[in-house]
Amino acid sequence: MASSAGTQVSPPRGGPGGVSADQPRPAAKLRRRPTVDLRGVPSRAGRALLGCLPWLAAGLAAAIPVISATVNAVRAGWVPAGDDGIIATRAWDVLTSHTPLIGQYSEAGLVIHGQVMHSPGPMLYWLIALPARFGSASSIAVAMGVANTLSIIGCVALARRRGGLVLMFATAAGIAVMCRSLPTDAMYDIWNPAAGLFPLLLLIFLSWSLACGDHRLLPVTVLVASYLTQTHLMYLAPTAVLLAVGFAGLIIRSLHRRRTRAKQEPAPARQRTWPWAAAALLVAVLCWTAPAINQIDSNPGNLTMIVRTAQNRGPELGSAVGWHAVVRAVGVTPWWLYKPATEWQRKKDVRGTPTRSETNTAILMLLALAVAGLAGALRRRWDLTAAALIGLGLCGAMALQAASNPSPKLLAETLGYTLWWGSQLGFWVWLIVAWALWLGLLQLARPALRALRRRAGARTASRRLRPAALTFACLAALAGVIAAGAAVARNASPDPHIYQYRPISALAAAIERVIPPGRTVAYRFGSLDTATQPMEPGVRYLLIRHGDRVLAEGSFPRLGSYYVLDHRRVQQTLYLTDSSRVQPHMTLAARVRFLGPWGPEVLSAWASSPHHA
């Protein structure tokens, strides 16, 4: 029917890129996904903003556990203690004359062959360099919480891009529930095993999109992969799998598009991939320049030390432990769906034999994943095939990592945290299997839906009801994600390090009144027990923020030569001890008493006068 003058004509049902009745239809049908009608929004910016609202709202809802934990940490007066204090100090050093070229100190090299080894690169320090220098100490935790929140939002946005609203809300709800299986402080912690958990999840979705031909994501994929690899070696195997699948899928899709373009007349506009590839190469060069400089200048370089450690790690835990890790990650009940007794529980999980039901369900999930990948290949749903390959590859990486872990007691204990990413693995496997089942159900239900549309008036009614039904369904799904995130946040365990924060801050504040800024200080220690020893790096970091140069014996492995005492001339001495004994020729700067995990504790700080240094 022709439209009258002044009446707005609706575009074809396919949207702006749709095909009208007068035009020839393409050979392959386009899959339409539910979208929000934005034709009434006048400006392009307004349409873009409204189009972002669904995945932005769902991403923020999924990140409620992270946001809540970060806010609680700031309220508790978070300061970097233990390894966090060392990481914060090295972040302070970024862009100074002693800027770090490599990552966090690792005990593995020292235990295996008696030489110092570090994580591959300093990108974790780069991430928190600004908050380490400006604002309060708690701003470091805020920065990490923001980074994790952005990673979650990115996952939800890419899920929307790949699978529509259904996959988007399923991803958001799953991430919110998955947070329950992770330590509370991992939501904002700068400790390098925890600092890569949510970026790893983002890399999974980035690599999936890359394998589906989304070449514009090349630079950010390389950036996130470099960050993970440099942050901790536990992320090396999964990152390698993800990049292999992503790059292989991108190359295959590019070759397929080229062949398809050559057969079409006239040839469609060509998509230029090389600028994005060049940008990704530039990102890689910038990310790895610092480790390369260290490798060239040092003898041996840190990368050489990592290779030596990997080649000579001695007896390993073996394939049984590797298989147990996969079973625990994907079998019922998978790691991502329950709250462990302690944050180190997984080192015990993989040493015990799984039950028959856990083993059988794990095998079933792996078979379902393989079938989904094969079905995707047969139906030319390469997105489903790539997702399944990622899941299977990550299972192999998990098995390899656990099996090759050195068996000496100290290194075997590291499974307590190196298997944390099993939550991300299990979540992905279950998500893709559920999505494949959903696609299969839609395929089976399609004939019934067509029969309903043949009824008189069904098409008109569906057009009228579809926007309202879609809006209601989205709001209901969003409410479900919010409820899940709020429940996880409400039942989160307390930060196990919270007892350290107030005493460290009080101790450092009192010391700063005795030692002015700009001093070179000899930092010495008396007896420190399990509860007080992690407080020493936190006090050191706060004094460095105060403007002092804090030197100590044995600082080289963790902090570099700049902080080594080594007979350097100092202006004052600071003595930290958990003893109440009076120190001669020194002034008591502060004494704090607090309740630690093992009972009442006391920590005293004594400072010398300048002429007694």
Percent of the chain with pLDDT over 90: 75
Domain-wise residue ranges, the chain: 315-453, 498-612
**What pLDDT is attached to residue 41?**
54
**What pLDDT is attached to residue 580?**
85
**What pLDDT is attached to residue 109?**
74
DSSP code of residue 316: B
Long-range contacts formed by 526-530: CB under 8 A, 24+ apart:
526/575, 526/576, 526/577, 526/578, 526/579, 527/577, 527/578, 527/579, 528/576, 528/577, 528/578, 529/578, 529/598, 529/601, 530/598
Q: What is the pLDDT of residues 557-600, one digit of tens each?
A: 999 999 999 889 999 999 999 988 899 889 999 999 999 999 99
Residue 11, number of CB atoms within 10 A of its CB: 12
Q: Where are the beta strands (DSSP E) in 296-389?
A: none
- CB neighbours of 293 closer than 8 A, spacing ≥ 6? 101
pLDDT tier at 51, thresholds 50, 70, 90? confident
**Beta strand pairing status for 586-596 and 572-577?**
unpaired
Q: Please say if the pLDDT value at position 482 is more than 90.
A: yes
What mean pLDDT is predicted for residues 308-326? 92
pLDDT tier at 449, thresholds 50, 70, 90? confident
Q: Token digits for 100?
A: 């770090």
d(CA 282, CA 230): 17
Percent of the chain with pLDDT over 70: 88
Residue 258, burial from CB neighbour count under 10 angstroms (0-12, 13-18, 19+): exposed
What is the residue-averaged pLDDT of the chain? Answer: 89
Q: What is the pLDDT of residues 27-41, one digit of tens each?
A: 344 344 555 555 555
Q: What is the 3-state secondary structure (H, E, C) of 421-442?
A: CHHHHHHHHHHHHHHHHHHHHH
Q: Would you mind telling me the total number of residues written for the chain in this entry? A: 613
What mean pLDDT is predicted for residues 151-158? 98
| Helix or strand holding residue 599 (H, E) | strand 599-608
d(CA 538, CA 511): 13
Give how far the C-alpha of residue 517 lies from the chain's centroid of Cα atoms, to the nearest Å: 37
**What pLDDT is attached to residue 253?**
87
Question: Do the Cβ atoms of 402 and 419 come closer than 8 Å?
Answer: yes
What mean pLDDT is predicted for residues 293-321? 92
Kindly list the distances between the CA atom of residue 227 and the CA atoms of 110, 217, 238, 338, 573, in Å, as whole numbers in the listed order: 24, 15, 13, 28, 38
**What pLDDT is attached to residue 268?**
57
CA neighbor of 608 nearest in space, from 583, 591, 579, 590: 583
Please state which of the ranges 240-249, 473-482, 603-612 shows the lowest mean pLDDT: 603-612
Q: Token digits for 63?
A: 């990140």
Which stretch, 27-31, 302-306, 427-431, has highest mean pLDDT?
A: 427-431
d(CA 269, CA 171): 34
pLDDT tier at 267, thresholds 50, 70, 90? low
Q: Model-level pTM?
A: 0.90
SS3 of residue 513 by DSSP: helix
d(CA 524, CA 536): 10
Q: Please say if the pLDDT value at position 199 is more than 80.
A: yes
**What pLDDT is attached to residue 483?**
98
Listing DSSP states for 375-406 in one string gives: HHHHTT-HHHHHHHHHHHHHHHHHHHHHHTSB
**What pLDDT is attached to residue 538?**
96
SS3 of residue 328 by DSSP: helix
SS3 of residue 76 by DSSP: coil
Q: What is the pLDDT of residues 363-409, one digit of tens each?
A: 999 999 999 999 999 999 999 999 999 999 999 999 999 999 999 88
Higher-scoring residue by pLDDT: 539, 45 = 539
